[in-house]
Amino acid sequence: MKRLIACCCAFTMLCAGPLWAQDTETLPGAPDLATALAKYHAYLFAPAVREELDAINRDMREIQRETRRATTDEAREAARTKREAIAARLSAILESCPATRAIEVTGQQTTLPPMEPISLPGDSGAFLFKVRTGDGPARCVTLTFDLSQHSNFRLPVEVAPGCTTWALVSLERVPQMKTDMEIEFAIPGQPTTLLPVRSITPDHGTLSVTVLSDDTGKPAPSMIQLVWKTDGHDVRPGNAVNFGPQFDSQGNWDGPRKTNYPGKLAGRYWCVPGPFKTSLAPGEYDIVITRGGEHVAVFDTVNVVSNETVERTYRPRRWVDMRKLGWYSGDDHVHAQILSDQDAENLMTWIQAEDVHLANIVKMGDIFRTWFEQRGFGKEYRVVDKDYVLSPGQECPRTHNELGHTISMNIQNMIRNTEQYYLYDTVFDEAHRQGGLSGYCHTNSGIFFVHRDMSVNIPKNKVDFIEMLQFANMGTDLFYDFLNTGFKVTASAGSDVPWGGTVGEVRIYAYTGKKFTADRWFDAVKLGHTFVTNGIMLDFSVEKAIPGDEVVVTEDHPLRVHARAWGDAEREVPSKLDIIVHGAPVKTVESADANQDALEVDFEIPAGNGFWIAARAEGNDGSRAHTTPIYVVREGLRFWKYDGIQDLIAKRETSLAEIEKIVAEAVAGRNAMGQEDSTRTVQQLALQGPELLKRVEDAKAIYADLRATADREAALRK
Q: What pLDDT digit, counting tens, does each position of 487-506 carry?
A: 999 999 999 999 999 999 99
Looking only at the bridges linking them, the beta strands covering 136-146 and 110-111 are: unpaired
**3-state per-residue secondary structure call for 292-357:** CCCECCEEEEEEECCCCEEEEEECCCECCCHHHHCEEEEEEEECCCECCHHHHHHHHHHHHHCCCC
**Which pLDDT score, from 0 to 100, does residue 674 have?**
56
Whether 565 and 591 have beta carbons less than 8 Å apart is answered as no
Comparing C-alpha atoms, which of 442, 441, 628 is closest to residue 531?
628
**Which pLDDT score, from 0 to 100, does residue 107 have?**
85
312: left (phi over 0), alpha (psi -120 to 50) or beta: beta
Each residue of 514-530: b (16+ CB within 10 Å) or e?
eebebeebbebbbbbbb
Whether 281 and 121 have beta carbons less than 8 Å apart is answered as yes
Q: Is the bond into 156 cis (omega within 30 degrees of 0)?
A: no
**Cα dihedral 200, 206, 207, 209 sign:** positive
Whether 340 and 383 have beta carbons less than 8 Å apart is answered as no
**Which pLDDT score, from 0 to 100, does residue 517 have?**
98
Whether 269 and 223 have beta carbons less than 8 Å apart is answered as yes
**Cα dihedral 552, 557, 560, 563 sign:** positive
Quick one: angle between helices 645-673 and 477-484, nearest 10? 110
Q: Tell how many helices (H) and how many strands (E) occur in the chain.
A: 10, 39
- The whole-angstrom separation of Cα 347 and Cα 241 is 9
Give the residues of the chain that fall short of pLDDT 70.
1-25, 672-678
Whether 536 and 616 have beta carbons less than 8 Å apart is answered as no
Tally Cβ neighbours within 10 Å of residue 354.
Answer: 29
- The whole-angstrom separation of Cα 561 and Cα 551 is 12
Beta-carbon contacts of 491 under 8 Å, excluding residues fewer than 6 positions away, are 465, 466, 468, 469, 479, 508, 530, 531, 532, 547, 626, 627, 628
Comparing C-alpha atoms, which of 455, 482, 440, 480 is closest to residue 699?
455
Whether 682 and 674 have beta carbons less than 8 Å apart is answered as no
User: Would you call 623 helix, strand, or coil by DSSP?
Assistant: coil
